[in-house]
Structure 1
Amino acid sequence: MDVGNRTGVITGAGTGIGRALAVDFGRHNGNLLLVGRRTEPLEETADMVRAAGGQAEVFAADITEPGVIDRVTGTARPRGPVDLLVNNAGNVRADHLEDLPEQDVLAMINLNLTAPILLTRALLPSLKGASAERGSILLAISSGIALTGLPFYTVYAATKSGIAHFGKALRREVHGTGVHVATAFPGATDTDMMTSSSAGEDLGFGRRPVADVVTEILESLTAGDHEINTAATTRRKMQDLNKTDPLAVDALLAPKLAALETAVSTHRSI
């Protein structure tokens, strides 16, 4: 895939992986609509995109609110043929399932799963209408937890698994239309989203630098990959074991449950 000269939308672009992806697409002459809830960090990202050689416009809104998806698509289309959509926005709350407040459950479902499905649905005609030679890029940022479900992340795992399987199904549905559907599976990454968790390498949450993760994502997109795993070595070993012997993962995690519960008890980005 050619990642250069793309026109499109990046959600959750104010910080972390979304910001880094926006800057990288900016380096490749991207013309981007940056979507997020807070104006100030979005404006900072926009300045970085412009400094990198791209164009950027800010759209500050909560994409889970009624009518916002239509406003985003209405703003994106006049900028030119939309041939890029990055569904990156997401939130997390770790806890025992029975202790999760209903509003946090719904917040994760609405932002991590419902909103990207609806935004993809709205922009899919534009993505299909892109140049047949270049095609378009539809990238979703899932999570390594979609590959190996972890305790205290039940709802988050459900949403990230859901968006991953949405991508797989859609990839097969749009085969031959020129839409390249890809899903990234980052493990723990050194972003603002992780600052409220104290889980580290000993619990399988060794954090990788954002720049390294995003570099791998762009390289994998350029190579035409559809599933992009950027997890650290420790997490990959667990993912491999989960494929062949999931009960062994249960046994591996059991002695660490109390420590993991303590480490992630404050992990909340909602």
Structure 2
Amino acid sequence: MDLKNLDLTDRRGIVTGAGQGIGRALALEFGRRGGHLLLVGRKLDTLTETASLVANAGGTTEILVEDLTQPGAVDRVTEAVAAWSTVDLLVNNAGNVRAGRLELTTDADVHSMIDLNLTAPILLTKALLPALRQSGTERGSIVLNIASGIALVGMPFYSVYAATKGGLAQFGEALRRELIGTGVHVATVYPGATDTAMMSSQNAGADLGWARRSLEDVITDLIAALQSGEHEINTAPESRRAMQQLNLTDPLAVDDALAPNLEALELAVRDHRSI
């Protein structure tokens, strides 16, 4: 089995947060390759739109309207695919964000981010791992975790979000090492600011270090990297990659670079909310 050149065709699996943005785009990519997907999300109308797009692209779908933070949600996902002969794909994409000063963030928003961005993908992966392992012995299974560039550079006014995405990244790294030799390919994606609905309430631009890439470009890079067997997939723009590298070698220099624009950045992101 060659996990350095992953075959993305005819995958059977789950995409969370499939109603919009990166989740919808990934569902379309796997649909174009003949995939059969369980689309999971909170809104029937957006999931139905995704299902129609996937069908037009050549794939097939089932829909599960589910809030993954609710009791029993993970069990209901696993039950939905229990009769499938193969489960060889899990895309942990569902997530939410609330930006702003930590002391102004409500406890409810803290729990909401942790529950959806971190706890849900861990529990869902845990529940589906037996099926992914079994399918992995054939041609390899895929666990694809959608983290964030903020997992590589913790940005001010995103402290809780950064904690969840950094946690998801480390979860993926540790699990990848745990599953060596099992045929389960664990990959983590680090998107920078991407032009999706999730970013519609965020007003920081390139002048504040938030240059955005199109969803199409991000997905193109992501799929190419996944096909080539990469485990750490960085789709951030080049400008942000320079900051990521500096953060590795001289993190206090990043502090110094951000400090002069803190007030402007807070004003630009304080309404950023997808919860």
What amino acid maps onto 2:127 in structure 1?
A
Deviation at 1:79, TM superposition (A): 3.1
Is 2:69 aligned against 1:97? no
Give identity over the alignment, percent: 62
Q: 2:145 aligns with which of 140, 148, 157?
A: 140
Report if the CA contact (8 A) 1:135-1:180 is conserved. Answer: yes
Aligned to 1:232: 237
Deviation at 1:131, TM superposition (A): 4.6
SS of the equivalent of 2:142 reads strand
Instruction: State the Cα deviation string for residues 103-125 of structure 1 (Å, max 9, x = none).
Output: 00000000000000000000000
Deviation at 1:80, TM superposition (A): 3.0
Report if the CA contact (8 A) 1:7-1:80 is conserved. Answer: no
TM-score (norm 2): 0.97
Counting matched residue pairs gives 270
1:125-136 aligned within 5 A: 125-136=130-141
Q: 1:190 aligns with which of 195, 210, 213?
A: 195
Deviation at 1:217, TM superposition (A): 1.0
Q: 2:61 aligns with which of 56, 61, 64?
A: 56
Deviation at 1:233, TM superposition (A): 1.4
SS of the equivalent of 1:187 reads coil
Aligned to 2:227: 222
Deviation at 1:191, TM superposition (A): 0.5
Aligned to 1:201: 206
Gapped regions of structure 2 (runs ≥ 5): 1-5
Aligned to 2:121: 116
| RMSD, aligned α-carbons | 0.7
Deviation at 1:98, TM superposition (A): 0.8
1:1-270 aligned within 5 A: 1-270=6-275
Report if the CA contact (8 A) 2:136-2:182 is conserved. Answer: no
Instruction: State the Cα deviation string for residues 137-196 of structure 1 (Å, max 9, x = none).
Output: 000000000000000000000000000000000001011100000000000000110000
What amino acid maps onto 2:207 in structure 1?
D
Instruction: State the Cα deviation string for residues 34-77 of structure 1 (Å, max 9, x = none).
Output: 00000000000001111100011111110110001101111023
* Regions of 4+ moved over 3 Å: none
Equivalent-residue separation in structure 2 for 1:77 and 1:170 (angstroms): 23
Gapped regions of structure 1 (runs ≥ 5): none
